[in-house]
């Protein structure tokens, strides 16, 4: 009888469990100025129709799950997020788009301190990961047609449109989707989610506020990784 109950339990999990979304523990903060990537590892396991990847930073785990069909770029997406996540806690020196880390982000795009830097932060992360592109401080340039995506996959970019500017004017990384929300890592923002903030933050944004997504990791669009 116990064996029958066990088999029936497994069948229920296979039928119903495969379509549940796992919860993940989010890293609440970090240290500034290019802290060494110590204590980082990627773990993976398969089971019941899900392939789960866990990003572990400083002993804390952030989980992702791919339903039925795994994302062939999952580990690469994790690596990009590792780099971005270690910048959590970076703050401007005086609130004028300045400071050691901010200067490094802007330098990636050929600019000096003083300019808005959300797109430069994205460019710096990809450069640090060894990518030849993107290299821009102009948010709209991060959403070319060849790179646009319909899905908020981990490490995809999200863009927010500002009607007064008539363009995308803020960008950041998707960490993961939670129902109708995305968890993000983004630069030049603050606790209120401003596009002219003072540091690198982890945010929670409703998907209704997102204008576009872009995928700079999956093949296509003519961009190559620098090896």
Strand ranges for the chain from DSSP E: 40-47, 50-57, 60-67, 148-149, 157-162, 167-178, 181-189, 199-206, 212-214
Q: What is the pLDDT along the chain (227 residues), one digit of tens a residue?
A: 544 444 444 444 333 333 333 333 333 333 333 333 334 444 444 443 444 555 555 455 555 544 445 789 999 999 999 999 999 999 999 999 999 999 999 999 999 999 999 999 999 999 999 999 999 999 999 999 999 999 999 999 999 999 999 999 999 999 999 999 999 999 999 999 999 999 999 999 999 999 999 999 996 433 445 43
Neighbour order of strands in the sheet with 60-67: 40-47, 50-57, 60-67
**Residue 169 included in any domain:** yes
192 Ramachandran zone, left/alpha/beta (phi>0; psi -120 to 50) = alpha
H or E segment and range at residue 16: helix 2-16
Tokens of 84: 């971005």
Does residue 221 fall inside a structural domain? Answer: no
pLDDT at 118: 98
Domain count, the chain: 1
Task: Classify residue 58: in a domain, yes or no.
Answer: yes
CA distance linking residue 84 with residue 88, whole number of Å: 7
Do 161 and 147 touch, CB atoms closer than 8 A? no
β-bridge mates for residue 91, sequence order: 199
Q: Is 1 part of a structural domain of the chain?
A: no
- Residue 56's pLDDT is what? 54
| Domain that residue 95 falls in | 20-214
Any domain includes 38: yes
pLDDT for residue 71: 84
Residue 133 in domain: yes
Residues facing residue 161 across a β-bridge? 168
> What's the whole-model pTM score?
0.71
Enumerate long-range contacts of 67-73, CB under 8 Å, 24 or more apart.
67/18, 67/19, 68/18, 71/153, 73/217, 73/218
Query: What tokens were used for 135?
Result: 């290299």
Q: Give the pLDDT of residue 64.
A: 53
Q: Which pLDDT score is estimated for 216?
A: 97
Q: Are 32 and 101 in contact (CB under 8 A)?
A: yes
202 phi and psi, to 5 degrees? -100, 130
Three-class SS of residue 118?
helix
Give pLDDT, residue 70. Answer: 76
What is the 8-class DSSP label of residue 32?
S
**204 alpha-carbon distance from chain centroid:** 12
Distance, first Cα to last Cα, the chain: 57
The confidence score (pLDDT) of residue 150 equals 93
In a domain, 15, yes or no: no
Query: Under 8 Å CB-to-CB from 123, ≥6 apart: which residues?
Result: 105, 108, 109, 134, 135, 136, 137
- What is the reported pLDDT for 31? 35
pLDDT number for residue 42: 47
User: Quick one: pLDDT at residue 62?
Assistant: 59
Instruction: Tell whether 166 is covered by a domain.
Output: yes
């Amino acid at each position: 009888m116990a064996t029958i109950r066990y088999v029936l339990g497994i069948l229920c999990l296979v039928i119903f469990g495969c379509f549940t979304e796992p919860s993940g523990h989010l890293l609440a903060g970090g240290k500034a100025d290019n802290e060494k990537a110590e204590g980082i590892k990627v773990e993976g396991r398969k089971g019941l129709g899900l392939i789960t990847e866990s990003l572990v930073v400083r002993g804390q785990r952030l989980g992702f799950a791919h339903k039925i069909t795994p994302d062939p770029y999952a580990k690469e997406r994790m690596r990009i997020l590792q780099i971005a996540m270690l910048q959590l806690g970076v703050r401007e020196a005086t609130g004028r788009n300045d400071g050691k880390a901010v200067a490094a982000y802007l330098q990636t795009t050929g600019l000096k301190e003083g300019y808005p830097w959300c797109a430069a932060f994205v460019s710096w992360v990809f450069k640090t990961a060894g990518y030849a592109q993107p290299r821009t401080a102009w948010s709209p340039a991060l959403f070319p047609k060849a790179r646009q995506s319909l899905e908020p996959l981990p490490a995809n970019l999200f863009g927010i449109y500002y009607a007064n500017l008539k363009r995308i004017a803020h960008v950041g990384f998707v960490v993961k989707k939670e129902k109708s929300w995305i968890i993000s890592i983004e630069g030049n923002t603050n606790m209120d989610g401003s596009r002219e903030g003072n540091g690198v933050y982890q945010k929670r944004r409703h998907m209704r506020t997102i204008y576009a997504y872009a995928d700079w990791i999956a093949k296509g669009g003519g961009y190559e990784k620098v090896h």
